Amino acid sequence: MTPTPEVQEKLRRYLLGSLGDDDRELVERELLTSDELFEELLIVEDEITDEYLAGELSHEDRSLFDQYFLNPPERQEKLRFARALNRGVKAADDKQPARKSSSSFWPNNPFLFRAAAIAAIVVIVAGVLWITFRNRSTPATFAVLRLTVSQGTRSGDVTEVPTLNLPLREDGLRIVIALPSQSLPATRYRVQMETDYGDKRFVEPVTQDNQSLTVMLPSGELRRGQYSLILFAVMSDGASQRISGSYRFNLQ
Amino acid sequence: MKKEWVLTQDAFDELLAWLDADRDRAGSKYETIRLRLIKIFTCRGCSEAEELADETINRVVARLSDIAVDYHGDPALYFYAVSQKIHLEYLRKFKARKAEVPVEAAADQLAPTIHCLTDDIERDYDCLERCLDKLSANNRELVLGYYQEEKQAKIDHHKRLAQEMGIAVNALRIRAHRIRRTLEACVHGCLEQQPAH
């Protein structure tokens, strides 16, 4: 099994747990006997982790990553390492001097110079706008919080509420919400976020499947307090129905 | 997973002899099989991958006297067949264990995961910096250069780097990954030596 793009894709599906049983067995048998394929698997595993951190995975793959790929402790270690490496790469990039020499770049003709300057300004403005909107939708790094439903009231429930410390070092907080096992046959879900400092708003899920959904909160929007997420199942006729219980966490 | 059979030196020697007549090559094959079994169990989402791999090896060794003479083919595939059985047993036990854990307790168990993902970032980074210093200048430059950029820019960047080095993009990819693996092992070693805060 030479690592062609098709084999690489098969390995991705295998690592994300979405390969059929027959293909999975073929891959595993080959992994035990082929050095080349085994090394390819390790590379693809790292690439998936990097893509996750960069927010480059599709919604479906991100969901598989959260639900399946990240389960073994070894993978969580990999994610930690990848995050540190990411930071190291960015730090090294910041230290680097400008890569291109200015004398050869700027044209001698004043008209061309002016045109180039205008074009550069347009590119910079577009770049700033792009980065701004990109950062809003997909933070580059994030902490992960997995929540299951709590049925009790805030004061009476004895279940320990997960707590994170602010400020986060990451750009955002990814919250993976496990759906109740007997959830309603919804076409989609809406998530209402309530805080003890009076904020109450809907947060759009970034991924969703039969078992979980994920919401993302940028670090800049997080304040200390008690948070409660309430799910609403939206049915095929557009009607929405609250799912009992809530998903709680604290930021301190 | 509970081990019912303990690997003795004699049994281990017998295993090595089955894997290869040359003891050094046999040792290397054993390590390879063990490492890959661990990875396969990890890829199946098992949290006790190492224990399951060792249990697979123990089961093979326990039956070695019956199979060694008549077995034809790559021994690694026999290990694979046994690992399938071990995995099924694991799944059965896992399901039984899951059914016994009340919802509240399951929620409590989530807390350490959160701790693991959000804490110790500075410690990780300190170790990374130390380990980067241990790399040769060329390897450090390559690994830091390779992982720059994202999406399409990353693809173009890799093509440019490979061109500058006069090698194929996939050869560069493999080279960068091997350095990354060395770095990752160094960072793990460094973290193990430091007490957690």
Average pLDDT of chain A, as a whole number: 79
- For residues A119-139, average pLDDT: 57
Inter-residue contact A34 to A40 (CB < 8 Å):
no
Confidence grade of residue A223 (pLDDT, cut at 50, 70, 90): confident
Q: How far is B114 from chain A (nearest CA, A)?
A: 6
Label the pairing between strands A188-195 and A225-234: antiparallel
Q: What are phi and psi of A225, to 5 degrees?
A: 155, -175
Q: Which residues of B touch A68 (CB under 8 A)?
A: 45
Q: For the purposes of burial, counting CB atoms within 10 Å of the CB of A110, is it exposed (0-12), middle (13-18) or buried (19 or more)?
A: exposed
Stronger pLDDT, B66 or A218, i.e. the higher one:
B66
Q: How far is B10 from chain A (nearest CA, A)?
A: 25
Residue of B nearest to A56 (CA): B151
- pLDDT for A167: 79
CA distance A120 to A127: 10
- pLDDT for A117: 65
CB contact under 8 A, A81 and B184: yes
Q: At residue B166, what is the residue type?
A: G
Mind listing the domains of chain A with CATH numbers?
Answer: 5-69 (no CATH), 73-137 (no CATH), 142-251 (2.60.40.10)
CB contact under 8 A, B147 and A77: no
Is the pLDDT at B120 greater than 80, yes or no? no
Confidence grade of residue A234 (pLDDT, cut at 50, 70, 90): confident
Q: Which residues of A touch B129 (CB under 8 A)?
A: 88
Q: Which of B43, B79, B173 sits opposite A43 (nearest CB)?
A: B173
Confidence grade of residue A21 (pLDDT, cut at 50, 70, 90): very high
Confidence grade of residue A121 (pLDDT, cut at 50, 70, 90): low
Inter-residue contact A232 to A240 (CB < 8 Å):
yes
pLDDT in tens, A146-170: 888 876 544 445 567 888 888 787 7
Q: Which of A79, A88, A162 sits opposite B128 (nearest CB)?
A: A88
CB contact under 8 A, A80 and B77: no
Most confident stretch, A112-126, A232-246, B91-105: A232-246
pLDDT in tens, B131-177: 999 999 999 999 999 998 777 788 899 999 999 999 999 999 999 99
CB contact under 8 A, A72 and B49: yes
- Threshold 0.80, pTM exceeds: no
Q: How far is A164 from chain B (nearest CA, A)?
A: 8
CATH number of B103-193: 1.10.10
Q: What sign for the dihedral angle of Cα B167, B169, B171, B175?
A: positive
- pLDDT for B14: 93
Contacts of A29 (CB under 8 A, 6+ apart): B77, B80
Please measure the distance between the N-terminal and C-terminal CA atoms of chain B and give it in whole angstroms. Answer: 30
CB contact under 8 A, A87 and B128: yes
Q: Which residues of B touch A76 (CB under 8 A)?
A: 113, 116-117
Report the complex ipTM: 0.86
Residue of A nearest to B112 (CA): A162
- pLDDT for A213: 86
Distance of alpha carbon A13 from the chain centroid: 18
Q: What stretches of chain A adopt beta strand conformation (E)? A: 142-147, 163-164, 172-178, 188-195, 200-203, 207-208, 212-218, 225-234, 240-242, 247-251
- pLDDT for B107: 47
Contacts of A239 (CB under 8 A, 6+ apart): none
- For residues B45-70, average pLDDT: 91
**In sequence order, what are the beta bridge partners of A252?**
none
Is the pLDDT at A172 greater than 90, yes or no? no
Identify the weakest region by mean pLDDT among A179-188, B96-105, B163-172: B96-105
Please measure the distance between the N-terminal and C-terminal CA atoms of chain A and give it in whole angstroms. Answer: 51
Q: Domains of chain B: which residue ranges?
A: 9-97, 103-193
For B128-194, the three-class secondary structure string (H helix, E strand, C coil) is HHHHHHHCCHHHHHHHHHHCCCCHHHHHHHHHHHHHHHCCCHHHHHHHHHHHHHHHHHHHHHHHHHC
Q: How far is A125 from chain B (nearest CA, A)?
A: 19
